[in-house]
């Protein structure tokens, strides 16, 4: 699917997340030579293509232009950020019916174009829409990736770094489950400079709950202040896309296809996975405590209940 000479990315959705992703991608990898922006607002897509072209002398000589779904025919990656944005006070799951309808109009023509690459999804609710993308496309599960809990994990790392007054680069922490209110942290696996968190900080149940609540509320705080969140998820998207293009084999927390991991089948939920040129090289099953495993399965139950209502 990928070669050493020509890598093409198609972006569907040129809103705040999409344009921030495109800007971040151009600075994250030098191994793409074409970026196509597809949006209902062709004028906006044209404008962003022209604007982004101005940075290519300082990054790499990427051809950037507005396009159509048919441009996906020979793309390596299609990134989808299209959809209705979450409003203040609205949960990610409230977006289901609105964005499912939009996705049905996107996936089918992309597949019809002959696209044979990897889908990367960030539209919310991301776990639901990633699962739906696989069902609509019929693609192998490994070629469908959602941003999942990548952003949640970054937020937890920031919170812990602030609490310990250390660099965020010293913190390795993973959030699992739904990208939303049923997500949870795998506290036993958190390390600080390679050492277990428990050696540096004692967290009781109340402390853990407060940290998880802070992660859950982080997006809402941003939305209430500026109307939308986009820098964090855009960087996560760029990191995932670059890992595919460059065959990095890096481990990232994403919406991963679960097939028996954590006792869950047939759903995409946040879990660490190896990302490479094939999409998902391997889903990594974290060793969870009994309480964490219950939380993971509760997250799956919540997702399945939503999927059961989708026609």
Please report, for the domain that includes residue 134, its CATH number: 3.40.50.720
Higher pLDDT, residue 35 or 91? 35
Give the sign of the dihedral formed by CA 141, CA 144, CA 150, CA 152. negative
As a whole-number percent, the residues of the chain with pLDDT over 70 amount to 95
Percent of the chain with pLDDT over 90: 82
Q: Is 179 a catalytic residue?
A: yes
Residue 169 lies in a domain: yes
Number of domain units in the chain:
2
Measured between alpha carbons, how far is residue 231 from residues 97, 147, 302 in Å? 25, 13, 28
pLDDT surpassing 70 at residue 290? yes
Decide if 1 is inside a domain. no
Average pLDDT over residues 178-189: 92
Q: pLDDT tens digits for 145-164?
A: 999 999 999 999 999 999 99
Residue 1 has pLDDT above 50, yes or no: no
* Residue 80 to residues 144, 154, 221, Cα–Cα distance (Å): 11, 21, 24
Whether 84 maps to a domain, the answer reads yes
Measure the CA–CA gap between 259 and 62, rounded to whole angstroms.
38
Residue range of the domain that includes 136: 8-146
- In angstroms and rounded to an integer, the radius of gyration of the C-alpha atoms of the chain is 19
Q: How confident is the model at residue 92, as a pLDDT?
A: 56
Model confidence at 54, pLDDT cuts 50, 70, 90, reads very high
Selecting among 30, 179, 202, 265, the annotated active-site residue is: 179
The set of residues, in sequence order, having a beta carbon less than 8 Å from that of 47 and lying 6+ positions away, is: none
Mean pLDDT, range 188-203, rounded to an integer? 90
Asked if 226 and 220 count as a contact pair (C-beta separation under 8 A), the reply is no
C-alpha–C-alpha distance, residues 23 and 88, integer Å: 26
> Are 131 and 214 in the same domain?
no
Higher pLDDT, 188 or 92: 188
Q: Which of 230, 234, 296, 232 has the alpha carbon at shortest distance from 267?
A: 296
Distances from the Cα of 125 to the Cαs of 25, 133, 273, in angstroms?
23, 12, 20
Strand intervals (E) in 171-285: 171-172, 175-176, 184-185, 191-192, 195-196, 250-259, 265-276, 279-283
Instruction: Round to whole Å and give the CA distance between 47 and 37.
Output: 10
Give residue-wise pLDDT tens across range 72-115: 999 999 999 998 766 667 665 667 878 888 999 999 999 999 99
Q: Are residues 117 and 159 in the same domain?
A: no
């Amino acid at each position: 699917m990928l070669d050493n000479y020509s890598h093409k990315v198609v972006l569907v959705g040129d809103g705040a997340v999409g344009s921030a992703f495109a800007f971040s991608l151009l600075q994250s990898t030098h191994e793409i030579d074409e970026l196509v922006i597809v949006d209902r607002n062709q004028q906006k897509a044209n404008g962003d293509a022209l604007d982004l072209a101005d940075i290519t002398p300082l990054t790499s000589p990427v051809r950037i232009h507005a396009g159509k779904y048919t441009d996906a025919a020979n793309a390596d990656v299609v990134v989808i950020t299209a959809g209705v944005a979450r409003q203040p006070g609205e949960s990610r799951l409230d977006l289901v019916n609105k964005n499912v309808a939009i996705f049905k109009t996107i996936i089918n023509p992309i597949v019809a174009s002959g696209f044979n690459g990897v889908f990367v999804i960030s539209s919310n609710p991301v776990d639901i829409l990633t699962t739906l993308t696989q069902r609509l496309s019929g693609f192998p599960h490994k070629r469908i990736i959602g941003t999942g809990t990548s952003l949640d994990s970054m937020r937890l790392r920031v919170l812990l770094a602030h609490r310990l007054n250390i660099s965020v680069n010293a913190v390795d922490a993973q959030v699992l489950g739904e990208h939303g209110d049923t997500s949870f942290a795998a506290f036993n696996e958190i390390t600080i400079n390679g050492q277990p968190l428990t050696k540096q900080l004692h967290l009781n149940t109340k402390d853990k709950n407060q940290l998880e609540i802070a992660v859950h509320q982080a997006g809402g705080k941003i939305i209430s202040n500026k109307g939308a969140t986009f820098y964090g998820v855009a960087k996560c998207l760029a990191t995932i896309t670059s890992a595919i293009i460059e065959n990095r084999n890096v481990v990232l927390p994403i919406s991963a296809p679960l097939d028996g991991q954590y006792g869950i089948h047939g759903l995409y939920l946040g879990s660490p996975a190896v990302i490479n040129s094939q999409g998902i090289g391997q889903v990594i099953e974290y060793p969870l405590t009994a309480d964490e495993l219950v939380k993971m399965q509760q997250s799956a139950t919540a997702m399945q209940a939503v999927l059961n209502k989708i026609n």
